[in-house]
Amino acid sequence: MRTNTVKQKLLRGEPSIGAEAGLGSVLAAESMSRVGFDYVVLDMQHGAWTEESVMYAFRSIALGKALPMAQVRSNDFGLIGRLLDIGAMGVVVPLVNSVEDAEKAVLAARYPPLGGRSGGNFGTGFLSDDPDDYQKVANEEIFLAVQIESAPAVESAEAIMAVEGIDGCWIGPGDLSASMGTAPGTPEHTAAIRSVIAACHKTGKIPGISLGEVELARFWIDEGCRFVTCGDDGSWMAVGARAALAGVKGE
């Protein structure tokens, strides 16, 4: 099984910078990997990916420098296991609001005795590795992050992050602000994010955050976040296209 260099980097306390891909384009995902990001997260929750297209994207990402990861559409046992079988080196599980939600994610992503992930005769590890060895190594190498993106999740953050088998969190600041009924960047919103980071540090887990602006990424890295995305393919394409059009028009 491929060594999870992102997880190793994070466990050393170093920031790991990634990008999100939602357009459903295998070539765009590969391009982002070749740029030099540590990982590319395929957004299956909001993006255009299908189960078949992510399988090809996992392999195209591996042609570059990044590790392939997926943000699943829901905390679904079968889907999480399937994505790991076909090549994901990390999974981000959305809408984890309780200890029970976190335990459900662990059950899907980890092999026994830690979880309940099902083994099979087909999959990226079973084709080349001894199945017993693969299962042991997979539990160590796969990165499992839960999304903290609601007011109830913030309140339960320390208990959620204490669940064995969870490696870290991925804070969703946009959904969190909506859940809190406040605008992004307000003192209340910033304090909530800081409290989640503190919960990660207290439980020995890795704090992460999903962002779309470089300046915010730098800010939250300075605040202690380590698993950080700084944008996505669709947004970057739109920004570049607008700039090109404005330049041609002389605007």
Active-site residue list: 46
Please state, in angstroms and as integers, the Cα–Cα distance from residue 123 to each residue in 29, 104, 127, 146, 149, following that order: 21, 22, 6, 24, 32
Tokens of residue 65, six digits: 């420098």
Strand partners, 171: 148, 209
Reference 44, options 65, 23, 18; nearest CA is 23
Beta strand segments in 142-192, E? 143-148, 168-171
Strand partners, 69: 41, 90
Reference 6, options 109, 165, 145; nearest CA is 145
> How many DSSP H helices and E strands does the chain contain?
12, 8
